[in-house]
Every structure is written in structure tokens, then in C-alpha cells.
């Protein structure tokens, strides 16, 4: 199922897209984005580097703990929150570095 959006920084037209595009950048950075099919305006969802991708792998492992009724779900929730916070902070820093300190797109 696709996602609907509109090109608020470009032509203003609405459009649907099925999936994000991924682009490998120098330094092991991956840019995840989508593009307006009408005017070609690119919208970056996020950037990741090796460290962020490792944290994302860790959070998926922690989230699997919720399926085990014998596991300590409070501990898993605490670890999940810590990892989410780390990922968010690191993504913000990486975006600022990749976009030269510009505001969000």
C-alpha cells in the first residue's frame, strides 16, 4: 500500500509513492528519500551511518523480547526507549552534517 503526500516545498501537487529510495553516499552514509514525480523535488526522510544501523539492529533485538511472555518487558521497554533516544539524536546530528546545517527539508 502506497503513501500519500503533497509536494509542499515544490509544485504543490499531491502524489502517492510506494516506497522510499535509498542512496549510498560517501563515508558509509545511506540517504533514505522519496521524490515528487511531478517536479522532481527530493524529500529526505533520514540519513543513517554504520553506527545508527547497528543501533537499529539492537532495537529490533530488544523489540523481539516483547514476544516472549517470560521476558522482563519493563527492562525491554527501558532499553528500547534508550535506543530510540540515541538513534534520534545521532540521526539529527548526521542530518545537520549532511545538509550543511540547513533546516529540515
Mean confidence (pLDDT) of the chain: 93
**Averaged pLDDT for residues 55-68:** 96
**Averaged pLDDT for residues 7-25:** 93
Percentage of the chain beyond pLDDT 90 is 87
Task: Please give the Cα distance from 47 to 49 (Å, whole number).
Answer: 7
User: What is the pTM assigned to this prediction?
Assistant: 0.83
Strands of the chain, DSSP E: 3-6, 14-17, 21-25, 29-35, 42-48
- The pLDDT score that the predictor gives to residue 103 is 46
- How many other CB atoms are found less than 10 A from the CB of residue 71? 13
Task: With cut-offs at 50, 70 and 90, classify the pLDDT of residue 101.
Answer: low
Amino acid at each position: 500500500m502506497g503513501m500519500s503526500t503533497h509536494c509542499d516545498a515544490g509544485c504543490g501537487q499531491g502524489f502517492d509513492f510506494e516506497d522510499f529510495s535509498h542512496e549510498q553516499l560517501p563515508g558509509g552514509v545511506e540517504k533514505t528519500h522519496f521524490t515528487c514525480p511531478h517536479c522532481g523535488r527530493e524529500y529526505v526522510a533520514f540519513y543513517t551511518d554504520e553506527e545508527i544501523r547497528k543501533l537499529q539492529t539492537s532495537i529490533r533485538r530488544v523489540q523481539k523480547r516483547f514476544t516472549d511472555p517470560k521476558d522482563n518487558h519493563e527492562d525491554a521497554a527501558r532499553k528500547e526507549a534508550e535506543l530510540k533516544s540515541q538513534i534520534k539524536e545521532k540521526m539529527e546530528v548526521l542530518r545537520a552534517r549532511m545538509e550543511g546545517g540547513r533546516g529540515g527539508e
